[in-house]
Structure 1
Amino acid sequence: MTAIEEYLERQVRLHGDSALNRIRDEAKSVAVLIGREAEMDKLDRLCGALLGTQPSPAGVTAPTAVARIDGAPYDDDRVAMFERLWSKLHSEHFPMLSEPTTAEARANVAFFESYFSNFIEGTEFEVSEAENIVFGNQIPPKRPQDAHDILGTWRVASDEGELAAILDTFESFEAALKRRHSAIMEGRPEKAPGIYKEIANRAGTYEFVAPDLVRGTLKRGYEFLRALADPFARAAFAMFVVSEVHPFLDGNGRVARLMMNGELARSRQARIIIPTIMRNDYLDGLRGLSANGNAESYLRILAVCRNWSAPMPWDSFPLTKAVMTRTNAYLRHQEAVSENKRLTVPTPSLISAIEILDVQASASRPSTFS
């Protein structure tokens, strides 16, 4: 009976109510001819329960059928992806890298997290322009919505109370997800900030989770998430779940990365910041995990980005900018390829050398008071 329940639920999930009604009508005409009215009655009640028009019959065991009857249907193919990633993460140990200790440093982390996260999505500003938006509240008149995307992302990324929130139930996880998305997209009311999508979305030909399966799929993903203890593992898992479900019309990548770094910030761990030079690698890693379950590339990219951001001299905004330039963080993929450059880790010697050059440059400038 479980196999029948799974089959019927999959039919209504993939093809809608009409598919199940057609199966039921065809079965009725056959049942009379072969004397299977009792079995037909069971099938009728099961179909009615799956369609939400009848109470659930006793003894339903298929998880997908139970979930649909309970009002939380989910995408079982995506849940299988989550289970495979969970198995990989659950069996590995990841290094602990502490976050910066000062409030100023953490504010700088939040700025660059927001800056690069928006750059990934095509919201491109110079760092100086983003500084004026975030710290000077200067909204460019020709790009107000793009500016609010950065500002909204920064407000969440810099809100330590928000990121420290304990998400120990699915309801609290879901509320944080909607709250953070609403803050990011507040400048785009037409994108329904904080509200799950009502129409399907896709990237190219790749379709994300159907609108009616969003909440159920997120809930199943959360069940795996809460069974992970390691902060990096939780971060990587949370980001993939939100990205793969794509629960909103827009802003899914940004909110997925905020959910990722929320897991790290809550444990006082260094965040994962994905600089421009790593954009293509990051997206390729996500696509590989979605398409063929290749978690190794995805996790390697996140680790590379974290190992780059953790030793950054976050206490000094100007020094951080300079070190990012020297480590090739701002390069676009094509620039990096043509110049044969890659992201490099900011070593203490590199940071010291930049500090010395900065001091020398400052000493050589004419005095303002001369």
Structure 2
Amino acid sequence: MPNELLSKALLELHELQQRGNIFKSEDFSGKNLTYLKKAGYLQSIIRGWYHQSYPAQNDGDTTTWYAGYWEFVSKYLENRFNGEYSLNPEASLLLHTKSSIIPKQVVVITKKGALGKVELVHGTSLFIYPEKKSFPQEVTTLNGLNVMSLEASLCKVGKLFYQKNQNEIEIALSMIKDVSSILHVLLNRERMDDATSRICGALKFVGREADAMRIKKNYETATFKQVSLVNPFLTSEPILSPSRERNPYALRLQVMWRKYRLTVMEVLEEYDLVEQERQKLLAEMDEKYQADAYHSLSIEGYKVTLNLIDKVTNGEWNPEKNSQDNETRNALAAKGYYLAFEAVKETIANVITEKKSMSHSLSAEHHVWYQKLFEPSIVSGLLEAHHLAGYRNHQVYLQGSKHVPFPKEAIVDAMEVYFELLEEEENPLVQAILGHHMFGFIHPYMDGNGRMARFVMNALLVSSGYSWVIIKVEDRNEYMQCLEEASVDGDIESFARFLLGEVAKSSISHKENNN
């Protein structure tokens, strides 16, 4: 293909991208669509619809599809139904509570049309069905999509959803300050007896008995039917504590932490881990640096040799005088890792000697670690200085993961809650495991989140009397799968077992070296 033709096609693509990353065939003029598809800049979703891609992207890579997933759903449904649709109660509620997971299927209710399933790419789909007589009344717009209101969603989801998604129901209830809006939905519909019982039972379960009784009495007065308050969940205690918090992102972190810590504590009972002398663990860090740098950088895809790490450590890496020490991405990453490692070590030393709180020190100093991690890339001109300004100011998507990190506007508040949860946690091993996972879950920076999460974990471990853990690149697949299960499936057990196993091995090695 002549470069001139592709260049013109890319110019048109660039102009279209000002409106998003999902396109229809008719958006392109001439043969530009053909050129862009052939070059790998566009991938087909369904006939006539495309999402942005990259030539180097593998066929099974879901990153660009997940990045454009909700944009496609919004544009496709609007184009096909001209606004006369709504997502079903389950999908609506998950969007209201800011679920971070890309669903395999979205169910859509329409005012007209036929029942049908639309197969998309990478195992995703839309299931569409008409409800001409009972189309949802309480429809609102959220992120460009027609959804049922939060209150209507709570009233319409069924018994199984309550049982399987207790996290989401508790978050949704916490977002509603005044239950008048729930009453309005319940009294504006027929046959809402079961829904009223579920909601009243759920409100009582989470400690809002006065609200439960208000709905019960009003509903009974209006309908002349008795309402029983039955716990709709499969557990006997709520996950969230009573709070004035209304931010769904903050609520999600709280519910995750309180749910996950119970699992970690159960797994922890299987391990006999004893705290070691902290000063010895601190002194041992220098011995672990080379292997830690090699494996941590390799996990992130950098090609770093032990020789390069030695040169950086000994101050022999000098790209100005030695042409072989050129300012490559790998070399700059190695230098940045060394500077960050030294900063982490200094933080740990201060916490140990001055008997400070590590969670408090993390809140104050994690930006310093991040700055050191990318300082060489800034100095070299590879990155612009604004990258060190703080948390990310763009949305990020994780390669191969169904988890979508929080949007940029939620990061500051999310990190504030994150450090509050760290501070409140009494068990240092729970701190380390959930501190690692939650940091990656929030993904506060544009890059370096994996390295930062492992630094956080190890800072919490060493300052509490446990040996520095090196996660080996050979274990990368298991490590990443455990993280995915925790982020997407809501199951922290595998990740807890993986990390506690590494802590146990590291502790044994420490004891052998000090005998």
Task: Sort the TM-score into its range (normalised by shorter chain).
Answer: 0.5 to 0.7
Q: Tell me how far apart the structure 2 counterparts of residues 277 and 247 of structure 1 sit (CA, whole Å).
A: 26
Partner of residue 196, structure 1:
391
Aligned residue runs from structure 1 range 5-154, under 5 A: 10=96, 63-65=244-246, 67=247, 74-90=249-265, 92-93=268-269, 95-98=273-276, 101=280, 105-139=284-318, 140-154=324-338
Specify which of 338, 341, 350 is matched with residue 157 of structure 1: 341
Instruction: Tell me: CA distance 1:169–1:299, structure 2 relative to 1, closer, same or farther (3 Å).
Output: closer
TM-aligned CA distance change 1:236 to 1:103, over 3 Å: closer
Distance 2:443 2:410 in 1: 11
Deviation at 1:169? 9.1
Q: Report the CA distance shift for 1:96/1:272 in structure 2 as closer, same or farther (over 3 A).
A: same
Given residue 235 of structure 1, which amino acid in structure 2 is its aligned partner?
A
Moved more, 86-95 or 230-239: 86-95
Task: Please state how far the C-alpha of 1:100 moved relative to its aligned partner.
Answer: 7.8
In 1, the alpha carbon distance for the partners of 2:463 and 2:423 equals: 14
Aligned positions, number: 272
Aligned residue for 1:181?
370
Q: CA deviation at 1:180?
A: 1.0
Q: Which moved more, 1:245-254 or 1:229-238?
A: 229-238
- Counterpart contact for 1:181–1:194, Cα < 8 Å: no
- Once the two structures are TM-superposed, the CA of residue 171 in structure 1 deviates from its matched residue by 6.7
CA contact (8 A) 1:225 1:238 kept: yes
Partner of residue 46, structure 1: none
Looking at structure 2, the residues matched to 13 and 131 of structure 1 have their Cα atoms a distance apart, in angstroms, of 44
- Which of 460, 470, 478 is the aligned partner of 1:273? 470
Counterparts of 2:462 and 2:388, CA distance in 1: 24
The structure-2 alpha-carbon separation of the partners of 1:116 and 1:84, relative to structure 1 and needing over 3 Å to count, comes to same
Distance 1:214 1:169, change over 3 A: farther
Measure the CA separation in 2 of the matches of 1:103 and 1:221.
25
Compute the displacement of 1:103 (Å). Answer: 6.6
Q: Verify the 8 A CA contact 1:116 1:275 in the aligned structure 2.
A: yes
1:307 aligns with 2:504: yes
Mapped pair 1:293 → 2:490: yes
- The letter of the residue matching 2:388 is P
Gaps of 5+ in 1: 1-6, 24-41, 44-60, 68-72, 315-346, 349-370
Separation in 2, partners of 1:210, 1:132 = 39
Name the CA distance, whole Å, in 2 between partners of 1:302 and 1:128. Answer: 28
Distance of 1:18 and 1:277 partners within structure 2: 43
Q: AA paired with 2:365? A: A
Match of 2:27 in 1: none
Cα deviation, residue 18, structure 1 = 8.8
On the 8 A contact 1:84/1:293 being kept in 2, the answer is no
Residue in 1 that maps onto 2:414: 217
Q: Is this contact kept in 1: 2:360–2:423, CA < 8 A?
A: no
Structure 1 position 231, deviation (Å): 2.4
| Distance across 2 between alignment mates of 1:198 and 1:307 | 38
User: Greater strand share, 1 or 2?
Assistant: 2
Indicate how the Cα distance of structure 1 residues 100 and 113 shifts in structure 2: closer, same or farther if over 3 A, else same: farther
Residue type of the alignment partner of 1:149: A
Closer, same or farther: CA 96–156 of 1 in aligned 2, 3 Å: farther
Cα deviations by residue, 1:254-286 (Å, 9 ceiling, x for unpaired): 011101111012123201210121111111111
Deviates more, 1:198-207 or 1:184-193: 184-193
CA distance in 1, matches of 2:506, 2:295: 12
Indicate the structure with greater helix content: 1
Q: CA deviation at 1:11?
A: 8.5
Deviation, structure 1 residue 170: 7.3
**CA distance in 2: counterparts of 1:282 and 1:178, whole angstroms:** 25
User: Aligned-pair RMSD on alpha carbons?
Assistant: 4.0
Residue 363 (structure 1) aligns with:
none
Kindly report which structure 2 residues correspond to 1:303-342, keeping only aligned pairs within 5 A, or say none. Answer: 303-312=500-509
> Residue 364 of structure 1 aligns with which residue?
none
Distance 2:262 2:508 in 1: 30
Given that residues 110 and 158 in structure 1 are in contact (C-alpha distance below 8 angstroms), is that contact kept between their aligned partners in structure 2? no
Instruction: Compute the TM-score of the two structures, normalised by the length of structure 1.
Output: 0.61
Between the two structures, name the one with larger relative contact order (CA 8 Å, sep ≥ 6): 1
CA distance in 2 between counterparts of 1:196 and 1:209 reads 12
Name whichever of 97-106 and 255-264 sits farther off.
97-106
Change over 3 Å in CA distance of 1:136–1:171 after alignment to 2: closer
**Deviation for aligned residue 1:128:** 2.2
Q: Report the CA distance shift for 1:16/1:213 in structure 2 as closer, same or farther (over 3 A).
A: farther
Match of 1:251 among 433, 443, 448: 448
> Aligned partners of 2:98 and 2:258: how far apart in 1?
23
Supply the AA of the counterpart residue of 1:310: S
Contact residue 106 and residue 158 of structure 1 kept, 8 A:
no
- Once the two structures are TM-superposed, the CA of residue 185 in structure 1 deviates from its matched residue by 1.4
Task: Tell me by how many angstroms 1:181 deviates.
Answer: 1.0
In structure 2, C-alpha distance between the alignment counterparts of 1:123 and 1:169, rounded to whole Å: 29
Q: CA separation in 1, counterparts of 2:406 and 2:499?
A: 24
Report the more deviating stretch, 95-104 or 259-268.
95-104
The amino acid of 2:504's aligned partner reads: N
**Alignment deviations for residues 315-359 of structure 1 (CA, whole Å, 9 cap, x no partner):** xxxxxxxxxxxxxxxxxxxxxxxxxxxxxxxx89xxxxxxxxxxx
Distance 1:113 1:239 in 2: 16
**Which amino acid in the other structure matches residue 409 of structure 2?**
D
Displacement of 1:80: 2.7
The residue type equivalent to 1:218 in the other structure is M
- When the two structures are superposed, what TM-score results if normalisation uses the length of structure 2? 0.45
In structure 2, distance between residues paired with 1:102 and 1:265? 6
Asked which structure has the greater CA Rg, the reply is 2
